[in-house]
Chains A and B, each alone.
Chain A
Amino acid sequence: MAVDEESLAGLSPAVQQEIGRFIAKLRRRQISSSQDVARKTLEIMRLTVATAASKDISSLIELIKAAGRAIVASSPHELTVGNMVRRVLQIVREETADDGTKGGLSAPTVEGGESTSAGGGGGSGPSLMKLLDAPDTTDYNRQPVKTVKSPILEAINELIDELSHVCSHIAEQAIEHIHANEVILTHGRDHAVEAFLKAAHKKRRFEVIVAETALSGAGRETAVVLADAGISTTLISDAAVFAMMARVNKVIIGAHAVMANGGLIATAGSHLLALAAQHASVPFVACAGLHKLTPIFLSNPEQFNVLLSPQPLLQYDEGLQGVHAPNPAFDLVPPELVSLLVTNIGGNHPSYIYRLLSEYYHQEDHNLFVN
């Protein structure tokens, strides 16, 4: 979908300019790391909230959604953008709801009283419990924006801060998962995995086998980085993964995004790696920060993928006509192949992901394009 010009009109010029610059950078693939994308999105959200001229909360929410939609529409495969927008929306709703109950209003419209809020994460969105209750009438228009703005901005700042610690929090858990004299298999280039392995290397001796991830050569870069850190590294070609799997104790890879069913979107070749791991009964571990958690169920596997230039696969100079050479950047790994998902709040099984979703995102925000 393209940028909707009218909805952008409500945003201040500074925000529009920032969004324009960000979209251009994403389009030109000048920002590569998910963390940078997430941080930039949060900065734009912060700016939106700070410069918003809305009188009430619901129009503030609309404004944030409009800004989010503009960026998501231009780069649909950058799922981190949508995730951060949803986090901000959840922050807004939470801050508003907190103020509402603090106001001590005992309304005839009951929100399920204590049991609902005790349900915590289950409080957001429809649930069986709330079917018979009054419709969710958190009246967002009850408080003026002014009172909640600074808590919201503070919360966003905290989120930005949390982002910068994602890799270190993931790395802290390394010791629990990597044991002495283990052989770890990895591929592609991911900062979280690198931090993970380097942190484990401080306390344990283990070996790493890196599959070169042929077309982009990302695996080669990882091998160099790990070898520089003093880890005993072996570089193999992608085709040799199955043969080497018998000697491997664990497979650890990074992910581009984690879908709502626990499946992963990861570097091309990850699905093959996962199938080989399953065949050899080797645990398959994925490291991903929570900013990569996406509340979307993939209806169409092709909708998320980016096809890159065929350049590394075919030489343009060869002049081959009639040869179709798709070069997908990503792969979809189904949840049943993933044993463990290591996030910055701890390790989880993929089937637990839906719980995290309800904690961090509000049901109404799952689909940013629906009003």
Chain B
Amino acid sequence: MSRDVSARYTQLLQADPASSSAAAIKALTEIVSSSSSTTIMGLRDDLIHAGQALGQRHDAPISIASLCELFVRFVTRTALETRDFEACRRLIGERGEQFALSVREAPRKIAKLGAPFVNEGGAVMTLGYSRIVTALLLEAAATKHFSVIVAESHPHGDGHRTARELLAAGVPVTMVEDAAVAYVIARCQMTLVGAEAVAESGGIINKAGTLQMAIVAHVCKRPFYVASESTKFARMFPLSQLDVPKTEQVRTHAAFVGQDPPPPQLVVEAPSRDYTPPCYITMLFTDLGVLTPSAVSDELIKLFD
């Protein structure tokens, strides 16, 4: 079962690499439809197992666990309404499809919400690659003239992908290294990043380098905006960087690529993610609307109470 779910998830992701949340939801929905259980509790257990299986994949988004928990709760609630198991299963299937569809619509909604915030004639700073951020900037570029400064996000260099997509639309792009963010911040009017997960406090977990950009923006009094779908809202409350979930990614430390291997006593750390506390975030653009960090907590509390 778990392998099935994992395989199915991979399939769906390959078919539409755009949204991992949509793929996960579809996979879980299919579990429901194809499950052999005859009781709600059985269905629930299947889903929990599947969720765990997905969560253990190394390329799973951090919020996958929350997504699964959301789905499980939904199942429980739906079950309370309908007595008939089959009807319930069908309903869940339908709703799941709808949910996946609405998740696919999220980038467009967010782009429409966030595009007015880009200043005409100004410069936007961003980091790495985020589908939502790129969609937002392209939407703004349709009606305004502005330029973008991209931090390349070493070592994966996702920033180059952003730059390519924006240049194709005629937006002038400047590429800087992550270390030069503080150097160029004075030229920007705002900072915009995506998020891999939005914590309950309203802070975000994103590629390493995001926290630095947020602190620099805060010091230079530039607004720091985050664009993310609501499915990324996770039920976690990190208090420090140590609470950021570790990922299994194994990679060579960039400094040592093409160099001699490090001496044995040298401790080499290569964190891939960091946590940005809500005090540095001005606003979040989500498909639920434009939210302040405190509003995010509210939403999550309402959901998980």
Contact = CB atoms under 8 A, between A and B. Distances in A.
- Same complex for A and B? Answer yes
Nearest to B119: A300
Q: Which of B117, B119, B294 has the most CB of A within 10 A?
A: B294
A354 interface: yes
Interface stretch (A123-131, A143-151, A325-333): A123-131
Contacts, number: 59
A363 interface: yes
B230 A300 contact: no
Given A297-B283, A354-B292, A363-B289, A128 B81 contact: no
Given A127-B288, A260-B290, A297-B283, A132 B70 contact: yes
B35 interface: no
A135 interface: yes
Q: Which of B102, B283, B298 has the most CB of A within 10 A?
A: B298
B276 to A, nearest CB: 17
Contacts of A129: 302-303
B302 A128 contact: yes
Given A132-B71, A132-B95, A126 B288 contact: yes
B48 interface: no
A299 interface: yes
Q: Which of B71, B98, B291, B292 has the most CB of A within 10 A?
A: B292
B81 A122 contact: no
A225 B56 CA distance: 70
Interface of B: 70-71, 74, 81, 95, 98-99, 102, 116-117, 119, 230-231, 233, 283, 287-292, 294-295, 298-300, 302-303
Interface of A: 110, 113, 119, 122, 125-129, 131-135, 260-262, 297, 299-300, 351-352, 354-355, 363, 366
20 contacts: A110-B81, A119-B302, A122-B302, A125-B289, A126-B287, A126-B288, A126-B289, A127-B299, A128-B288, A128-B299, A128-B302, A131-B102, A131-B231, A132-B95, A134-B95, A261-B292, A300-B117, A351-B294, A352-B294, A366-B289
Q: Which 4 A-B pairs have the closest CB atoms?
A: A299-B116, A132-B74, A299-B117, A128-B303
Given A354-B291, A354-B292, 20 more contacts: A125-B288, A126-B288, A126-B289, A127-B288, A128-B70, A128-B288, A128-B300, A131-B231, A132-B70, A133-B95, A261-B283, A297-B117, A297-B283, A299-B116, A299-B117, A300-B119, A351-B294, A352-B294, A354-B294, A363-B289
